[in-house]
Amino acid sequence: MGKKVALTGNEAAAHAIRQINPDVIAAFPITPSTPIPQAVAQFIADGEMDTELVTVESEHSAMSACIGAAAAGGRVMTATSANGYALMWEMLYIASGMRLPIVMAVVARALSSPLNIHGDHSDIMGGRDTGWIQLISENSQEAYDNLIQAVKIAENKDVMTPALVAQDGFNTSHTIEIWELEDDQKVKEFIGEYEPLYPMLNTDEPVTHGAWAPPNWYFEHKMNQLRGLLNAKDVVEKVGKEFGDAFGRYYGLYEAYKLDDAEYVIVAAGSVCGTTKDVVDGLRENGVKAGLLKVRLFRPFPYKELAETLQSAKAIAVLDRVSPAGAQGGPLFTEIRSALYDTPSRAPVINYTYGLGGRDTQPRHISSVFETLKRIVETGKVEKQFDCLNLRGEWR
Amino acid sequence: MAEKLLNWDEVLIGGVIKDPGNSREYETGSWRVERPVWNPDTCIQCMFCWVYCPDSAITVDENGKMTGIDYTYCKGCGICVEQCPTKPKSLKMILEAEAKGKTEEELRKEVFSSEK
Ligand code: SF4
Ligand code: SF4
């Protein structure tokens, strides 16, 4: 058992990075993830880490430096948020295409405009197709645990794919919670030594990284890359179990909260799941069969496993912390609904956008979702497939 | 040299190239619409063309002297002609179509005869 500490989500990420002690970190500050590299810089100054911290002039440069260091053969990490993540865009694809297992802490935040520094999932959802593994954390404990596991997942020989671990800006990153900090040595043993496949610094076997592939090669390389990303699903499960064996907290692809016989189900990811669990508990006490499916692994999307857990549901609401931006619904909604199409379930699935730009989502808002689900089952009618939670004025 | 095309599950991870120098297998000469023709009579062996050629298509002998152009890789960009400092120039571009069926000697005569 670890030591109980009362620290923020950002500090949880920073302690994970301290224990991982990567060879290189290249980072640029951006709210709300700034405290992560800041704390890391302090750890290095205090002699608790020997990571090479590269301070750069932008996030584009940060990811570029990470790619160079990872191609050289180093274990590499970074942290960012929102517009910083967006500025990395080009390099995110290059990191995944070059199969460099960089691990990044993302403190999820709204994208401008209007300028807003608070939490939502606009950044990570926008980057969902950059070829990175995406793990979403509910709280500080998960932000810490997921970062440690992400190193092992990304560096697995069958995966060799960069991974991001998201936590919600401010809801988690700046909130002090009690969580368990594990022993430094135990964490180091858990992740083990990194053995890069083709390090550029190995002058005995010279290699070229980042070469071009003409039309008669590119397609094969992209599908080879996809296989690596898809392989991550089984590795996430395996590492989640190993982590449980080592530290007592077990992880899977998702968390099924009171889902076995649930009829009214909310599907969500991130800190809103904590609020939803409270509401589910209250409803269960009153005999209402409510449940939560918390999505932990968003990329690769474990569509089969998620759809299976939803088979008892009579009505489902998917919560997306991002605008659908012109799609039928938010990204979690469209993928969940698509996954259900291949199963016997024909439960109605509705979608909510919530929490944009740090808008509060309280138990009463989650309760209203369950009430809507009950009404749908009672009347057999879906009045609104898409709606907003805690928006001023009715969405129409 | 024909390259062996590999399937998606055979290619090396991340597009890594383990056998350096394999750009030799990529014959950029096939792109050429125009080609440079070299005049050894006026060439002062300054090697500007060799320095600037982006495809290493200027051939050089063991004494470091320029000996001509490797048309397997010369893509006809004309940079060597731009850089050549002699007056008149010792390299000139002609249309690839005009070079068809002619030896280098014949081409040289045709292109540079007026300058003799
Ligand atoms: S035309 Fe271009 S490619 Fe050909 S020899 Fe001159 S510089 Fe090189
Ligand atoms: S640049 Fe002109 S003069 Fe100089 S080596 Fe080349 S052909 Fe000769």
Name all domains of chain B by residue range, CATH numbers in brackets: 27-112 (3.30.70.20)
Q: What is the pLDDT of residue B71?
A: 96
Provide ipTM, 2 decimals: 0.91
pLDDT higher than threshold 80 for residue A64: yes
Q: Which residues of A touch B5 (CB under 8 A)?
A: 216-217
Q: Ligand 2 within 6 A of B73 CB? A: no
CA angle B22–B28–B34, rounded 5-degree value: 160
Nearest one of B72, B105, B83, B110 to B94, comparing CA atoms: B110
Q: Distance (Å, rounded) from C-alpha A200 to C-alpha A193?
A: 18
Q: What is the pLDDT of residue B24?
A: 86
Q: Whose CA is nearest to atom 4 of ligand 2?
A: B46
pLDDT higher than threshold 60 for residue A80: yes
Q: Ligand 1 within 6 A of B53 CB? A: yes
Structure letter (DSSP) for residue B14? G
**What confidence tier does B20 reach under pLDDT thresholds 50, 70, 90?**
confident
pLDDT higher than threshold 70 for residue B2: no
Q: Whose CA is nearest to atom 8 of ligand 1?
A: B53
Tell me the backbone φ, ψ of residue A8, rounded to 5 degrees.
-80, 170
Tell me the backbone φ, ψ of residue A68, rounded to 5 degrees.
-60, -45
Ligand closest to the CA atom of residue B34 = 1
Ligand 1 center to residue B105 CA distance, Å? Answer: 19
**What confidence tier does A233 reach under pLDDT thresholds 50, 70, 90?**
very high
Q: Which residues face A181 on adjacent strands?
A: A3
A47 — alpha (psi -120 to 50), left (phi > 0) or beta? left
Q: Ligand 2 within 6 A of B66 CB? A: yes
Q: Domain map of chain A by residue range?
A: 3-247, 254-388
CB contact (8 A) between residue B18 and residue A198: yes
Q: Which residues of A touch B13 (CB under 8 A)?
A: 99, 160, 197-198, 224, 228
Residue A241 in contact with residue A231, Cβ under 8 Å?
Answer: no
Residue A6 in contact with residue A177, Cβ under 8 Å?
Answer: yes
Residue A54 in contact with residue A65, Cβ under 8 Å?
Answer: yes
The C-alpha of B55 sits at a distance from chain A's nearest C-alpha, in angstroms, of 15
Tally helices (H) and strands (E) across chain A: 13, 15
Q: Distance (Å, rounded) from C-alpha A141 to C-alpha B93?
A: 68
CB contact (8 A) between residue B18 and residue A205: yes
Can you tell me the mean pLDDT for A92-98? 98
**CB pairs < 8 Å spanning A and B:** 56
The answer to whether the Cα torsion of A15, A18, A24, A26 is positive or negative is: positive
Which CATH number does the domain A254-388 belong to among 3.40.50.1950, 3.40.50.920, 3.40.50.300, 3.20.20.80? 3.40.50.920
Nearest one of A28, A129, A128, A132 to A81, comparing CA atoms: A28
Can you tell me the mean pLDDT for A13-28? 98
Q: Distance (Å, rounded) from C-alpha A307 to C-alpha A319?
A: 16
Can you tell me the mean pLDDT for B50-56? 96
Q: Distance (Å, rounded) from C-alpha A110 to C-alpha A90?
A: 19
CA A214 to chain centre: 33
pLDDT higher than threshold 60 for residue B116: no
Nearest one of A61, A63, A22 to A43, comparing CA atoms: A22
Ligand 2 center to residue A71 CA distance, Å? Answer: 39
- Residue A248, token pair as written in the block: 């007592």
Q: Which residues of B touch A221 (CB under 8 A)?
A: 8, 11, 14-15
Closest-CA residue of chain B to A158: B13
Q: Distance (Å, rounded) from C-alpha B10 to C-alpha A90?
A: 26
pTM given for the model: 0.90
Q: Distance (Å, rounded) from C-alpha A343 to C-alpha A138?
A: 28
pLDDT higher than threshold 60 for residue A34: yes
- Given this chain, do its domains A3-247 and A254-388 carry the same CATH topology? yes
Q: Give me the CATH topology for the region A3-247.
A: Rossmann fold (3.40.50)
The C-alpha of A73 sits at a distance from chain B's nearest C-alpha, in angstroms, of 13
Q: Ligand 1 within 6 A of B68 CB? A: no
